Structure 1
């Protein structure tokens, strides 16, 4: 996938494969990262500790249904701490690093946690839902 991104002209991207077989950053152990930077691919492994986060097994994040997942997200955005919040912060940290909005995973995770604690994350989700609702309604009537 990283090679395809290079061929498509991506300037910066991360392709990740987390421990526990997940297609995102993992709390369980190392995450393999293929980092695309300026047409080159650099491979490395990262751990939750690099973001200042605690390791946790992937099974701690399993949900039984879409409703369960939505409830878990609401709890995280409401300030509940634990593995669910940590994996949100870890993956947000990676996105912030790729976007050059954070110097490293530790800074990115701290910024993500601050966005959750300050209510900015809830506000962003509300704006996304409103945007989606407007465009879905426009698509049905247009």
Structure 2
């Protein structure tokens, strides 16, 4: 519900939490690559509403169909492709939202776009150098060990 996003941002500000609350203009409750998003930047007890367009970071537009998952097999293949560094809309959407998580808690000041750019670069590096895939493999090994 689009009406709740600014309310959530206000509650976070009142609690002294730095955060980003966002809603894609397509109705998704995340930063979307289908077009612009409205973002409420919560920092130092204040809320600033702004807009963000992933094109500002060079991210190509995609359709909701490009992002829609499927059954377990399809989703597992998409996750493996993502962690193997395959380019495309799924990678772009995951990296953008990982960047938002990093930007929400960035120690350095700066505008939202520059903080997202930094997070995007860090996330892309983790995928490209295999750190993200290696972490998933460790989780799988541990979870398989717990089943034994």
Structure 2 residue 17 is matched with structure 1 residue 6: no
Match of 1:89 among 95, 100, 108: 95
Please, what is the CA RMSD of the aligned residues? 2.2
Q: Which runs of 5+ in 1 are unaligned?
A: 138-142
Match of 2:29 among 16, 23, 26: 23
Q: What is the count of residue pairs matched by the alignment?
A: 134
Match of 2:132 among 115, 121, 130: 121
Instruction: Please give the TM-score of this superposition, normalised by the length of structure 2.
Output: 0.79
Counterpart contact for 2:106–2:115, Cα < 8 Å: no
Residue of structure 2 in register with 1:35 after alignment: 41
Where 2:42 maps in the other structure, the secondary structure is: strand
Deviation at 1:129? 4.7
Residue of structure 2 in register with 1:108 after alignment: 119
Where 1:104 maps in the other structure, the secondary structure is: helix
Where 1:32 maps in the other structure, the secondary structure is: strand
Counterpart contact for 1:17–1:33, Cα < 8 Å: yes
Partner deviation per Cα, 1:99-140 (whole Å, 9 max, x = no partner):
216852222212211110101111233345566x39xx5xxx
- Alpha-carbon distance in structure 1 between the residues aligned to 2:60 and 2:93: 10
- Alpha-carbon distance in structure 2 between the residues aligned to 1:16 and 1:123: 30
- Alpha-carbon distance in structure 1 between the residues aligned to 2:87 and 2:105: 26
Instruction: Please give the TM-score of this superposition, normalised by the length of structure 1.
Output: 0.82
Partner deviation per Cα, 1:84-110 (whole Å, 9 max, x = no partner):
111111111111111216852222212
